[in-house]
Amino acid sequence: MSINSDQFEREMRYQAMLAISQKMHNEGLLSADDLKLIEGYLREKYQPIFCAA
């Protein structure tokens, strides 16, 4: 599979935002429900190639 620079950029942004959200959840700043909502929003916004649905 070959990805273009736009897809790569979206993937990197998705992974970065996901990591930040998960860290906030681990620190007790986000509930599990909030994290789930954020993950869905991030998947919709960035349309990553590599994500666990």
The contacts of residue 7 (CB under 8 Å, 6+ apart) are: 49
- Cα radius of gyration rounded to whole Å, the chain: 12
User: What is this structure's pTM?
Assistant: 0.83
Q: Is 14 exposed, middle or buried (0-12, 13-18, 19+ CB in 10 A)?
A: buried
CA dist 30 and 6 (Å) reads 30
Which tens digits make up the pLDDT trace of 1-53? 677 899 999 999 999 999 999 999 999 999 999 999 999 999 999 999 876 55
pLDDT at 3: 75
CA dist 29 and 46 (Å) reads 23
